[in-house]
């Protein structure tokens, strides 16, 4: 059986080899995250081997709620890979997000948090095990395994 990997929050540009999923209703998406009803449309629960979130966490209105939703779709032993801005660079990233999403390519539907939020704590509380952590300049890459 083929592994199901989903680039969650991929919008226009999903990672090669991954299915796409976003909050928008873009015509090219494989799956749609229905934030209001807290579910992923067209996706079977406990069917996903990996969720890949690149530059997504700081755009989630309710990190805890979203991670709990993703948890329903992950198989036991599956992983969540997160690439997001480090706390030390958050203000700089916020400035760039405002510039990019409000003026250069206006996309007012894209939300971003005015403050850094600790998603490590949330995943720890959900009993996920951090199996990898790498710092790459202003970004951090973490991989979490569902127990």
Quick: pLDDT tens for 26-80: 788 999 999 999 999 999 999 999 999 999 999 999 999 999 999 999 999 999 9
* 3 state DSSP class of 27: coil
Candidate CATH numbers 3.40.50.150, 3.40.50.10320, 3.30.300.160, 3.40.50.2000; the one for domain 5-146? 3.40.50.150
Mean pLDDT, the chain, integer: 95
pTM, rounded to two decimals: 0.94
49 backbone dihedrals φ, ψ, rounded to 5°: -90, -30
How is residue 135 annotated by DSSP? E
Q: At residue 101, does pLDDT exceed 80?
A: yes
pLDDT at 73: 98
How does DSSP assign 32-84, residue by residue?
EEETTTTEEET--TT-EEEEEEES-GGG-S-HHHHHHHHHHHEEEEEEEEEEE
């Amino acid at each position: 059986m083929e592994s199901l990997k989903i680039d969650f929050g991929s919008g226009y540009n999903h990672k090669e080899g991954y299915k796409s999923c976003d909050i928008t209703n873009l015509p090219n998406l494989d799956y749609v995250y229905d934030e209001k009803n807290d579910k992923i449309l067209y996706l079977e629960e406990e069917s996903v081997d990996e969720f890949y979130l690149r530059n997504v966490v700081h755009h989630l209105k309710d990190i805890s709620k979203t991670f709990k939703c993703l948890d329903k779709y992950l198989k036991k032993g599956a992983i969540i890979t997160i690439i997001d801005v480090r706390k030390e660079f958050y203000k700089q990233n916020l400035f760039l997000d405002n510039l990019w999403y409000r003026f250069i390519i206006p996309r007012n539907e894209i939300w971003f948090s005015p403050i850094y939020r600790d998603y490590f704590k949330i995943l720890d509380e959900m009993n996920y095990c951090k199996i990898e952590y790498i710092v790459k300049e202003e970004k951090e890459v973490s991989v979490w395994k569902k127990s």
